[in-house]
Amino acid sequence: MTEPSVANLYERRRPSFLVTAAVITILSVAIARLPDSFVNTLERNRFLDNSSAGWAYRLLALFAIVQGLYGGFYVLRIDHVKRSRVEDPKVAAMTRMQVITSLSRNAAGMIALTFIYGLAAFGVTGERGGFWLFPFLCLLQGAWYFREIGAVARWLGFQPDTAIEVVPEAVWKREPPDYSPPIARSLSVIEVRLPGDEVTETAG
C-alpha cells in the first residue's frame, strides 16, 4: 500500500472545511433574507431586557473567541499532535491520514460551535446586526485552522505512518546475556559425595 504524500495530506483537510463552510453560508444567507418584520418582532418579544441581552451577547462572543483561540493555540498545534502520538495509544495507532481527518473534523466542529454561538446571540437579542460578528469569526477561524492543519500535515509528511513500532514476527532477536531456558529454571543442583572422590555436581 502506497504511503500518502504531503499533497495527499493537504487534500485530506478539505472535505470537513467545505461541508462546514457550505452549511454556515446557507444559514447566513437564510438569516440575511429574513423579513425585517420578523426580525423586529423577535427583538420586541425577547425575554431579556436591553441590559441583560447586551451582557448575554458579550458572553457569547467571549465564549466564541476563547474556544477559537484554544483550538488554534493548543488543539491544532504540532507540539500537541506530537505529544498525543507519544502519550495516547489510540492516537499512536492512527495513520497520518486518520490524524489529519480527525484534526479537520475537530476544527470544523469548533468553527460550527462559533456559528452556533452566533445563532444563540441572534435568538437572545433579536439583533441581526450583532449576529454578523460570528460568521466573520468563523471566517477568521477557518483560515487559521486550515493553515495550522497544513503545518501539521507538512510535519507528518516526514514521520512514520503510525507512531507504534511494529517488529515483524519473522525477525529473530538474540536473547539477553542473563537469559535462562524455561526447562533449566526448574532444575536444581545436587551434590553427590563418594568416598575418596572430589565433590561432583550433577543436574537433575
The three-class DSSP label of residue 15 is helix
Residue-level pLDDT at 195: 64
Render pLDDT for 113-126 as a digit per residue (tens, 0 to 9).
999 999 999 989 88
Residue 198 is given by DSSP the state -
Looking at every residue in the chain, the average pLDDT score rounds to 85
What is the spatial distance between Cα 145 and Cα 109, in angstroms, rounded to a whole number?
11
Q: Where are the domains of the chain?
A: 6-156
Place of cell 470537513: 16
Render pLDDT for 135-183 as a digit per residue (tens, 0 to 9).
999 999 999 999 999 999 999 988 888 877 644 444 556 667 766 666 6
Mean pLDDT (whole number) for 88-111: 93
- Picking from 32-36, 44-48, 51-55, which range would have the lowest pLDDT averaged per residue? 44-48
The model's pTM is: 0.76
The answer to whether residues 50 and 141 touch, using CB atoms and an 8 Å cutoff, is no
Cell of 82: 506530537
Within 45-160, residue ranges assigned H as helices are: 50-70, 78-87, 89-92, 96-125, 128-131, 133-156
